[in-house]
Amino acid sequence: MNKSRVNKEDPHSTSKKNPTNFYKSSDLYLSAFLKSKGVILHNIKRSGNRVVFVFRDDGNVPDLVKEYFNDGIVKVLSFKASLADLRSIIFNYEDP
């Protein structure tokens, strides 16, 4: 399970003084949980034979990760849709 919090500037940001935090995960189910909780999927990267999902972290992601690992509650249909979306991304992803 590869998860990390990264502090980098958003390449689309107009302000250089406002860094944006990102959270990276290659855990499909955790990523589906985060997506179904409303965390914005910012980017997808390939790391070897794995796909890394990069989420925008507005400060609530560490709490959501704790919630996930403590049997957090999420709407089933939302989780199912997020999981399907991420699987589709994995199978259709091509490096630019």
pLDDT tens digit sequence for 19-32: 579 999 999 999 99
- Mean pLDDT of all residues belonging to the chain: 83
Report helix, strand or coil for 65: helix
Report helix, strand or coil for 92: helix
Tokens 């406002």 appear where? 18
- The number of beta carbons lying within 10 Å of the beta carbon of residue 25 is 21
In total, how many domains does the chain have? 1
* CA distances (Å), origin 14, targets 9, 18, 20: 10, 9, 12
Domain that holds residue 18: 3-92
pLDDT tens digit sequence for 50-66: 899 999 999 999 999 99
Does the pLDDT of residue 6 top 90, yes or no? no
